[in-house]
Structure 1
Amino acid sequence: MKVQTYLFFEGRCEEALAFYRQTLAAEIGPLMRFRDNPDDPDHTMFPPGAGEMVMHAEMTIGETTVFLSDGRCGGSPNFTGMCLTLVLKKPEEAETLFRALAETGQVRMPLRPTFFSPAFGMVADKFGLGWMIYTEQARPA
């Protein structure tokens, strides 16, 4: 069994993919638009104009693949009750990514040393998606 993260951006998926490509060096994989859905040849399953929206996309950040979609193409993204966590080896890397996400987002907890991490912080990006930035402790040899 595998648990897979799937994020719905309600009409902003393409913008999100570009943002994560630039900010987190995400690699964008397969992308399918609603117009390409073979189970909907008459384009009646989704609202008019949804054909160009993203039905399914994949992006890889580091070792993890995340699925994304425009969802039902209405409303605004709602990412309450969850965060994605970036686990890094060096505090300098954590600082760079934290700043990049916070630039157009909102800092929820400043990046700082804690008892469990040399650099830990929380930020919501411009889409409201929560991120925890975590640097692993050095382990004794």
Structure 2
Amino acid sequence: MSMQLSPYLMMNGNGKEVIQFYEKALDAEILFNQSLGEMCENSDYPIPAEAKEFVGFASLKIGDSNLMLSDQHPGQPHQIGNQVTICIRTENNEKTKQIFEALQDNGQVIMPLQKTPIFPVYGIVTDKFGVTFQIYTEVQL
């Protein structure tokens, strides 16, 4: 079974600028880029007009590695130093649940496992050592 770890950056409204910078500085290739407005247009959580152009989710290829990023959702605090998390991608919902449950032992659930517009199972947990993970099942299209 395949599992992949990737860094994930949470930006403070400047995600587009970050992408442009990494394209030039690191020769990054944009694999996917969707605005927050596009991502949440049919959501139960309306996005303020001023945040609709924020990066909802982007994936960049840099050399042999992937880097993911998004802008922080409006109303969520942004802290310098805590904007880097680790993503764990699996290809199986049960494996995603197993990893999430193991990491939450003596840790803190930030977002319970749930279906999102992009992933069938997604959650965020900080482990007992203070490391935050975004765990998700990726469906091959």
Per the normalisation by structure 1, the TM-score is 0.48
Larger radius of gyration: 1
Structure number with the higher strand fraction is 2
